[in-house]
Amino acid sequence: MTDVPEVAEAEDTTKKYGPLTDDLLRNTLRKDKGDAAELVSWKCEDFTKKGDNYASFVTSVKVQYREAKEGALKEASYVAKIAHQMEMETKFRSIMNEVFEKEGCCFLEILPKMNQAMRELHLDAIRTAEGYCVSLELGKEVLMVEDLRARHFKMCDRRRGMDVLHATLVLKELGRMHAASLVVEKLGCSLTETWPVIVEKWLHSEDSSMDMFIKIMAAQIEGAAMIMEKIPKYEHVVEWIRELKPRAMQIFKDALLQGLKFSVLTHGDCWSNNVLFRYDAEGAPVEVMLVDLQGMRMASAGADLSYFLYSSFTGGGDACSLLSEELLQELRDKMTFGCVSGMILAPIVLSEEQDVVGFFDISEETIDKSSQERQEIVTRMGERGDGQLRDRFLSMFDEMVEAGIVSRADAAAQ
């Protein structure tokens, strides 16, 4: 009888994989396969490209294991979200730690509680990846979750945007998540009191760490104004964008602060990069998975839906036919928030590799230069021959005019 081989070192030992450890992988494996699973070896295999992830570095970890000392060698794959291994100001390192703490809590505690409530109602669990473990050592944070590629889930083409079939699946699943949170609250478990980590401090106070984000946001919005400035008869839209720009952060806060109406646990960052789909043989989407839960917060369901629709939905039908009239009105009330989200996210969604900004490379010393560069990138994207960013902005601002949020050209001229 032979002994189980010593755990092999990961093949890639570069700095970005540094926070991954044997103990972390061993705990992940046992959480997934049971206590009998013995780790033999592991290695990292990157599968994402620049522009797929911003808040963390994401890779896959291929694991070899046995369930008995002389058992057959088996394989499993997991997704690791790892804190960026770069020099970072202390306050940003602290924010990053809070982000990992929140997402770990959502995967390992809040979702299991919600899924238990769903099972008791004989309903399917919320469609997300399975969460296994989180490490919160400052600067070396890691979250280990299920690799959904094993179940044939993949990202849709974010640059094409989502049609009604894709968007309907997302809206239904967001609705199930929202409803499950209400069930848990109804059973006497206050989500914010039980898990205060989902209460975002920046929404409730003046936080100087947000100053750089405000400047980047203003640059993105000014880029949108400059794109619209080149389109005849949209002067009224340009004027509205520039009037809105100084209020953009307050619009965000007002939309996301927990209120009485339609207050639910929201995904908080639901856009093309943060949902995966499974397709049938004909290429039609048949199932969705919500991933990247670092933005979850108690807020209006309308804000969650508006954020998704204005960042990722490209039309071709009525994706909102599922909504009640009351919720539809709440969505209308959050249209300005959705438009601000769209001005920020649409350029990110449509980015090619050369357009991607490393947000954690930005510091207080470089913020003005970085903001100017970001504005120039957005305006260049608006001039591309494919016209994608320009067309998305046109559609979005036409909708704002139709809703009466932006004055019509003839009214603005009077």
Query: What angle (nearest 5°) sits at the alpha carbon of residue 144, between those of residues 173 and 147?
Result: 60
Q: What is the pLDDT of residue 87?
A: 72
Q: Tell whether the model's pLDDT for residue 380 goes beyond 70.
A: yes
Question: Counting beta carbons within 10 angstroms of the beta carbon of residue 43, is it exposed (0 to 12), middle (13 to 18) or buried (19 or more)?
Answer: middle
DSSP state of 110: I
For the ranges 125-129, 345-349, 351-355, 377-381, the lowest mean pLDDT is seen at 351-355
What would the pLDDT profile of 129-178 be if each residue is shown by its tens digit? 999 999 999 999 999 999 999 999 999 988 788 999 999 999 999 999 99
Q: What is the pLDDT of residues 16-39, one digit of tens each?
A: 899 999 999 999 999 999 999 999
Dmax over Cα atoms in the chain, in whole Å? 91
pLDDT at 386: 83
pLDDT for 266 equals 97
Question: Quick one: which of 42, 68, 44, 39 has its CA closest to 57?
Answer: 44
CA angle 248, 254, 258 (to 5 degrees): 145
Q: Are 32 and 76 in contact (CB under 8 A)?
A: yes
**What integer pLDDT is reported at residue 314 of this predicted model?**
84
The domain locations on the chain are: 15-82, 152-413
Count of residues making up the chain:
414
The reported pLDDT for the residue numbered 365 is 74
Residue 4: predicted pLDDT: 33
Tokens for 388, please give them. Answer: 């994608």
338 contacts 373 by C-beta, under 8 angstroms? no
State residue 12's pLDDT score.
41
Residue 207 confidence (pLDDT):
63
When mean pLDDT is compared across 37-46, 222-231, 307-316, 389-398, the lowest value belongs to: 307-316
Q: What is the mean pLDDT of the chain?
A: 87
* Structure confidence by residue, pLDDT tens digits, 237-254: 999 999 999 999 999 888
pLDDT of residue 372: 86
pLDDT reported for residue 325: 85
Q: Report d(CA 291, CA 275) in Å as an integer.
A: 6
**pTM score:** 0.89
d(C-alpha 309, C-alpha 303), whole Å: 10
Q: Are 380 and 352 in contact (CB under 8 A)?
A: no
Residue 231 main-chain phi, psi, to 5 deg:
-105, 120
Question: Residue 157: its pLDDT value, please?
Answer: 86
Phi/psi of residue 383, each to 5°?
Answer: -95, 0
Place of tokens 């997402």: 103
Alpha helices in 334-366 (DSSP H): 335-349
Dump pLDDT digits (tens) for 269-328: 999 999 999 999 999 999 999 999 999 999 999 999 999 999 999 875 566 766 788 888
Find tokens 């002994």 and name the residue: 3
Q: Phi and psi (nearest 5°) for 160?
A: -80, -25
Give alpha helix (H) positions in 187-286. Answer: 191-194, 211-229, 235-244, 248-256
- Is residue 216 over pLDDT 90? no
- Among the residue ranges 40-44, 308-312, 405-409, the one predicted with the least confidence is 405-409
Tell whether the model's pLDDT for residue 3 goes beyond 90. no
Here the tokens at position 414 are: 């009077």
pLDDT range class, residue 9, cuts 50, 70, 90 = very low
